Structure 1
Amino acid sequence: MDTQHDNALTHALAAIPGPVPPSGVLHAVIPHTSRFTVVGNHLAQHAELSLVAIGIGVHIQSLPVGSKVGIKALAARFPEGEVKIACALRELEAHGYLHRTRVRLPKGRVATRTVFCNQPGAVLRGGVVPVVGPAVRSTGPAPAPVREHLRVPEPAPVPEPTAVPEPRPVPEPRPVPEPRPVPEAVPVPETVPVPEAPHAPVRLPSRTAPTQPRRPLPHPHALTPELRQASSAFLADLRRHAEELVLSEQDVEELIPGVAAWLERDATTDAIRRALTADLPQPLKHPARLVRHRLTALLPPPLPGIHGLALPRRAPVTPFQTCDGCERAFRSHDPGHCRDCRAQCWEAA
């Protein structure tokens, strides 16, 4: 009992003389006299725009001049999030419906000027973007809904059968109307182009961090033939311990100075092998780059000498002595009297 049924539309559909499609939409067309916006089918039925972009485009076209159509304003008006609204605005901008430019105001502030075009194809042909408001809308009161305006053909009246057909009257000849003079063409006023911004659009700085330059591969102080031979054999033997580290002959020649720098700093081959083969990424796409990075980033410092490992010498400490006169403790290398007792002895002398 709580379901509402529209009996007027049901009776109107039942009165259709022709076949009714089994599925699909039927339009009940009621003329608008107020609060309406003219929207072209090129936007409402666009083949490449998403449904969100079409809906936002129709909404922006229906707004008056000066309305806020930014991402924040649209997100506060509709349930869609800012990411989806931003994607829809970029779609409208890519297809020519929306134009957003950054202009500098007289006081130095930067603002975004948004222009919505209801016919991008006409703008491309004309080369001028007219700045106008939304479609013309009537300000009169809205009429009551009329249910008789249904886009369906009315059933034709069935003629009553008669025994003898009546003779049809012959229509009298009508006078031919005189041709009316063709009015002269009214010149169309030229569209005023949008004035350009006095300054070039401001480019915001990039948020991406600058890339750090790659550190050079370490080199030994003297690349002797013994170091070269040991480094070359070590790099060629890496694939036995890690199948991913298969290096070419050119890679081995380029990485020899890095391994020689490790060997020069008294690093053992086992320590170098563990540093290069531990926790390899899967899958490993560039083994030579990984070996180069680890040889550079994990290079150990040179071993300190004997003097560097010696303990620092402590400063000599003066021992405590007991005063022979007052038996107070004082620091001195030799036993005797404290400072006060020595002063008294000098005064007595």
Structure 2
Amino acid sequence: MDTQHDNALTHALAAIPGPVPPSGVLHVVIPHTSRFTVVGNHLAQHAELSLVAIGIAVYIQSLPTGTEVGIKALTARFPEGEVKIARALRELEAHGYLRRTRVRLTKGRVATRTVFCNQPGAVLRGVPGPVRSTAPAPTFVREHIHVPEPEPLAEPEPTAVPEEPRPVPEPVPVREAAHPPVRLPLRTAPTQPRRPLPHPRALTPELRQAASALLADLRRHAEELVLSEEAVEELVPGVAAWLERDATTDAIRRALTADLPKPLKHPARLLRHRLTALLPPPLPGIHDLAQPRRTPVTPFQTCDGCERAFRSHDPGHCRDCRAQYWEAA
């Protein structure tokens, strides 16, 4: 089987017209007859899009209308994380290939509608597209609208000649769009910087040992919290900061294992977030809990002259009566 494969590849390379370049890629082009998607060179060879954004765009074009193409759906399909996929979708939005809008449905529900355009430059030039139905839109959360390409005409199969290999047709060059792609403003909110993991004032060997043991023991209380040695070493300062603030091991364990999401994909990230967001304040001292001292209040006295009340530590006359006596004197 290996020899037949090598011979077929050798015959296909020999049928390439013109001189063979000494280096670089060689194209063996076999026409597709089913299960294919037409992708423009303006996308496949885009000078500003990342490789992840181009791959996601090609994948979206190959999907039927109505398929979920949100961040969660793409993360479940590909090994890239949510951060890379979200960044790639924002790139496609900035270059006019993707547009996401919020649509209000019945009964107060809100959905995100995703529209993908395979030729943003053609939309700017006003190229007419296929007629769309005027029926109301379905109520799925995300919508993928794809302009279908015309199916290629079936070509008659050439008569097989045993002596000569079948010639391989040259790829047809595709003209680039006359206008540059549209740069739409970003519609997503800016990501907030991640808060740093808390650290103790002094990471003593005792604190390090206690924090490491607590983290390694979490899987006995929640089987989802299986951490690697590298993750334990990274989270040790956060647990040590809790212990330095007189938090008990039971309190820390309850805070880290309560109400875990199902399924839990990234246990180390969840623990880092909880150690940072739920960090308790230091315990107050004895003097902080003491009752505040009250300011002494001057008592009331009754004036010996007019019998009005006035504040004074000693009995006698009020201010008005004292002024009258001074004038009389």
Q: Give the TM-score normalised by structure 2.
A: 0.48
Q: Give the TM-score normalised by structure 1.
A: 0.46
- Higher Cα Rg: structure 1 or 2? 1
